[in-house]
Every structure is written in structure tokens, then in C-alpha cells.
Amino acid sequence: MEPVSHIVVDWGTSSFRLWALDRAGQVLAERRSTQGLAASATDGFEVVLETHIAALGIGEDVPVMMCGMVGSRSGWIEAAYLAAPVPLAGLAAQTTLVPSTRRPIHVLPGIAQNDPHHFDVMRGEETQLLALTTREGACLACLPGTHSKWVRLEDGTIEGFASFMTGELFQLIREASVLAPALSGAAPVEPASPAFAEGVAEALAAPESIGNALFALRASWLLAATPATSALARLSGLLIGLELAGARQRFGNLDGVSLIASAPAAPLYRQAFAVAGLADIRAFDAESCVREGLHAAALATFQLEGAVS
């Protein structure tokens, strides 16, 4: 087995994922936890990181490349936002070094869109997009999540993007709204559920009526005892359908979109795309993409000898 060459970390609001890689980017070991920003701020970011590294028995000289909300104002250290349009190839040259740590630890920059009509920010998704930079020409990428991103790429440059609060609205409505009793005890949303497809189709047909469609979930529970599992699938479909309608309004034809997602979002979005009649979807695994992007940045930043890109 190759020795560990470098460590890469995707550190978000609610999750921590670490991989120990060899020079070729092969995974030698990994660690996952729910130590997102809030938990880590309490325990100390370096303590959290070094505890995971120590558990793998990795030495003190191995450098770390990180991305995600760990580089936000409420994270470990605030890394710069680069203003779009941004050539992805330039990301690795603009990392922020965390000061006074026992090993070199770098954080990749986020991307800001300083258009007063379309202010927007991302942290982490830009690193996933590095996996798409070998493609020439134009491409539209969809990265589902708490704040889903739709990104217009041209020849390896992020030209513009839009975030949608899809995942966050889903959690808020599910847990804290008047719909909570109607959704209580629901099984996870099945992509093949008819209620999911109906929700997507309803939101695409009348996205402006989303506030009414949401209340109807409560009314159908009161009047027709609609099962929670079906109501939750419909809610998920409504919100993803709304996102597709919004992306269409902003970016036009969505055919040929690149979906960068992992389970459970990937199959749901693929099904939503099918309901919307979108063709030629290209699917990429989000976790592989972020690891590849972090690896590419690590190679460029740490000038690893003999590395194979």
C-alpha cells in the first residue's frame, strides 16, 4: 500500500468527512461524523480534526486540504470568497492557510456572486465542480442540498449560479410547521412513489401556488387521512419541482444538466428530471467529486512529488 500523502476534508454545517489519500488520489482510509460547525466550534476545530487523524495513526507532517462551511465566518477561519466569473483552475492558488497548527492546513475559497439582482454564495460546491473542469464548452450543473446550487459553467469557468432553499424548507416545514402532525412517522421518500411524482408535476404546473399546495397537505390529512409517508413524498416532490421551475426561469432549457449528488438526493432528482421531461442527464457522485476536487487542489498546493493527477 502507498503511504498517506495528504488528507482531504469536506467540512460542512452538519457533517464532517475526511479521507487519507495516496499521491494518486486513492483512498487509504476515511472518517465520517456529524461534527458540523456548531459542534466543532464548541470542541475546537483543531481538536476535532486531529482526533480523527490520530485515530487513523497518521503522522504530524501530512498536510490537509479542506473545503466547505469550515471556511465561513462561523467556521474555523474565514476563507476568501472569489467573485464570479471564476476559472475553477485558479481555486487551488487561492487557499487560506490556517495559522499556528501543527501541520499545514489549507481551506479552499468560496465563490460569491456580487450581482445586486442576484447576490449569491457557495462554499464546497465549487470544489465538487472541479471534477467537471475537463469538459469544454457550456454546461449547467445541479448540486442538490440544504441550499441547492445551479451553476452555469463555460470552458471551466463558473459564469453564474443560483441557490435554492429546497432542503432547508423541507426540514423546516417537516419539523416545525403546522404540517408536522401530518408528516409524523413518515418513511423516507421513495423516488418511485406516485405522490412524489405528483408533487413534482403539480409544482411545475403551478409553481406560484406552492403556499396553497403546502396547506393542502394539512387539509388532506384532516379530511382524507392521507398517510404521512405519502404526504412527505408529495412535500419533497413539490419543493424539488419548485426548484426545477425556478431553475428553468433562470437558466432556460435544462436538458443535458449535470447532476452532482449522492444518495438520497440523487435518485429523487433523477426522478424529478424524468417527470419534467428532461433528457440527457449526466449523473456524477457528489462525494467522489468533492474528493477529486480536494485531491486536485492538494496536488497543486502541496507540490507533491511524483503525484499522478
Which one of 16, 19, 76, 81 is in contact with a second copy (CB under 8 A)? Answer: 81
309 binds a second copy (CB under 8 A): no
209 binds a second copy (CB under 8 A): yes
Q: Look at residues 172, 47, 170, 39 and name the one whose alpha carbon lies nearest to residue 102.
A: 47
Side-chain half-sphere exposure of 158, counting CA atoms within 13 A: 30
Which one of 178, 180, 279, 308 is in contact with a second copy (CB under 8 A)? Answer: 178
168 binds a second copy (CB under 8 A): yes
Rounded to 5 degrees, φ, ψ at 307 are: -70, 150
In the three-class reduction of DSSP (H, G, I as helix; E, B as strand; rest coil), residue 94 is classed as helix
* Residue closer to a second copy (CB basis): 76 or 302: 76
211 binds a second copy (CB under 8 A): yes
Least distance CB 23 / a second copy (angstroms): 37
Q: Look at residues 97, 120, 99 and name the one whose alpha carbon lies nearest to residue 110.
A: 120
* Residue closer to a second copy (CB basis): 185 or 211: 211
222 binds a second copy (CB under 8 A): yes
Tell me the residue ranges of DSSP E strands in 43-100.
64-67, 81-83, 86-87, 96-97
Q: Look at residues 90, 78, 92 and name the one whose alpha carbon lies nearest to residue 121.
A: 78
* Residue closer to a second copy (CB basis): 7 or 122: 122
Count residues binding a second copy (CB under 8 A).
49
Stated length of the chain: 309
166 binds a second copy (CB under 8 A): yes
Tell me the residue ranges of DSSP E strands in the chain.
6-11, 16-21, 27-33, 64-67, 81-83, 86-87, 96-97, 105-107, 110-113, 120-122, 138-143, 148-154, 157-164, 258-260, 282-284
* Residue closer to a second copy (CB basis): 101 or 146: 146
Starting at the edge strand that comes first in sequence, how are the strands of the sheet with 282-284 ordered?
A: 86-87, 157-164, 148-154, 138-143, 258-260, 282-284
Write the binding mask 226 to 255 for a second copy: x where contact by CB under 8 A, - elsewhere.
-------------x--xx-xx-xxx-----
* Residue closer to a second copy (CB basis): 227 or 246: 246
Which one of 208, 277, 303, 306 is in contact with a second copy (CB under 8 A)? Answer: 208
Contacts with a second copy by CB under 8 A lie at 73, 81, 112-114, 116, 118-121, 146-148, 162-166, 168-169, 172-173, 176-178, 206-212, 214-216, 218-220, 222-224, 239, 242-243, 245-246, 248-250
